[in-house]
Amino acid sequence: MKYDVVALGELLIDFTIDGKSNQGNNTYEANPGGAPCNVLAMLNKMNKKTAFIGKVGNDAFGQILKKTIDDVGIDSKGLMFDEHVNTTLAFVNIDENGERSFSFYRNPGADMMLTEEEVDFEIIKNAKIFHFGTLSMTHEKVRIATKRAIDEAKKRNILISFDPNLRPLLWGDLNLAREQIDFGCSVCDILKIEDEEAKFLTNCDNIEEAVEILKNKYNIKIILLTAGSKGSTAYYKDLVVKQEAYLQSNTIDTTGAGDTFCGSCLGYIIENDIDNLNEEKIKDMISFASAAASIVTTKKGAICSMPEIEEVEKLRKNMSNLYNCL
């Protein structure tokens, strides 16, 4: 089978705070998550064919995750089950602005146990885009598997998409994290990166200077910089295209917003030649992506919260009308 996008990486359960019990204790909702599948879930909403490569525990959570990605239309033939290590868990606490802090149960977690021998390279060979992040590069075994997958994609001139998705708590050494982000940037055609990640990688606190360093050091076709409520910017050849965030008063959880943005952009790139984009097309792309990300922040979780295309276009239209009235 041919795929539009194949992603490799983590698949886990996000326990998101969901109020208080009668005894006054925090209660949590178990939401299927993991950045790569968040990206793929958005792509499926855009009628793209997707597949995932990764590993979960052969436990109740692992079975829930497989059913979830099957239900949203992500091909799970590349999903492995570990008989000895449990599915990775993350506890997500959310402040009054919907911003998150994480605690991970991953020492070890099944996602980091994926080996090179377990990767189905035939899936990658049939993709238009291969997407990955750094959570599959925190430990040697899965790092080897990830880099071999990238090599296979490179051999076939498949576009490489990279989102660092830096989670400092999962790195024993942040210098190793910086090295792996540097590697990802060196092999990718499409970079989706947060402003703070760009500053971290370049050791530069000025974001414009940080982006210039990225542009000069790496051969990246398009850089998609996100900055939360401050909006996003696309850097393509000599173009710099900015987009304000579609802020919502009912934001409750920003989990997966960046992944939704990334998936939306990949969907657009599949339909348009990445080597022949222009300012109008890029503006349309990041406007759609920003609107989709905005909608996800009004729901809990991510994989099961991706918006329909019609929802996104409705929000874009409403916001355009609002701006025209100002």
- What are 304-316's pLDDT values in tens digits? 999 999 999 999 9
- pLDDT, tens only, 200-238: 999 999 999 999 999 999 999 999 999 999 999 999 999
- Per-residue pLDDT, 325: 56
Inter-residue long-range contacts of 315-323, CB under 8 Å, 24+ positions, other chains counted: 315/246, 315/291, 316/246, 316/287, 316/288, 316/291, 319/246, 319/291
Q: Compute the distance between CA of residue 112 and CA of residue 215 in angstroms, rounded to an integer.
A: 31
- Arithmetic mean of pLDDT, 135-157: 98
Model confidence at 131: pLDDT above 60: yes
What is the reported pTM? 0.95
Q: Is the dihedral of CA 28, 32, 35, 40 positive or negative?
A: negative
Q: How confident is the model at residue 67 (pLDDT cuts 50, 70, 90)?
A: very high
Q: How confident is the model at residue 255 (pLDDT cuts 50, 70, 90)?
A: confident
Tell me if 41 sits within 8 A of 74, measured CB to CB.
yes
Q: Compute the distance between CA of residue 174 and CA of residue 166 in angstroms, rounded to an integer.
A: 10
Q: How confident is the model at residue 95 (pLDDT cuts 50, 70, 90)?
A: confident
Tell me if 14 sits within 8 A of 92, measured CB to CB.
yes
- Arithmetic mean of pLDDT, 279-283: 98
Q: How confident is the model at residue 92 (pLDDT cuts 50, 70, 90)?
A: confident
Tell me if 128 sits within 8 A of 158, measured CB to CB.
yes
Q: Compute the distance between CA of residue 280 and CA of residue 159 in angstroms, rounded to an integer.
A: 22
Place of tokens 């925190």: 138
| Adjacent-strand bridge partners of 29 | 16
Tell me if 226 sits within 8 A of 258, measured CB to CB.
yes
- Per-residue pLDDT, 17: 82
Model confidence at 100: pLDDT above 80: no
Tell me if 52 sits within 8 A of 79, measured CB to CB.
yes
Separation in Å, CA 252 to CA 11, 72, 93, 158, 249: 22, 22, 11, 37, 9
Average pLDDT, the chain: 95
Q: Compute the distance between CA of residue 81 and CA of residue 55 in angstroms, rounded to an integer.
A: 6
User: Please, what are the domains in the chain?
Assistant: 4-319 (3.40.1190.20)
Where are the alpha helices (H) located in the chain, listed in sequence order? 35-45, 60-71, 121-125, 140-155, 174-187, 195-202, 207-217, 257-271, 279-296, 309-325
| Adjacent-strand bridge partners of 32 | 13
- pLDDT, tens only, 266-278: 999 999 999 999 9
Close Cβ partners of 256 (under 8 Å, ≥ 6 residues apart): 33, 35, 38, 296, 301, 302, 303, 305
- pLDDT, tens only, 33-64: 999 999 999 999 999 999 999 999 999 999 99
- Per-residue pLDDT, 323: 56
Q: How confident is the model at residue 253 (pLDDT cuts 50, 70, 90)?
A: confident
Q: How many CA atoms lie within 13 A of 194 on its CB side?
A: 14
- DSSP letters along 264-302, please? HHHHHHHHS-GGG--HHHHHHHHHHHHHHHHHHTTSSSS
Q: Compute the distance between CA of residue 128 and CA of residue 210 in angstroms, rounded to an integer.
A: 29
- Arithmetic mean of pLDDT, 174-193: 98
- Per-residue pLDDT, 135: 97
Other residues' Cβ atoms within 10 Å of the Cβ of residue 118 = 17
- Arithmetic mean of pLDDT, 1-9: 97
Place of tokens 């189905």: 120
Model confidence at 279: pLDDT above 80: yes
- Arithmetic mean of pLDDT, 290-315: 94
> Can you say how many angstroms the Cα of residue 242 is from the centroid of all Cα atoms in its chain?
20
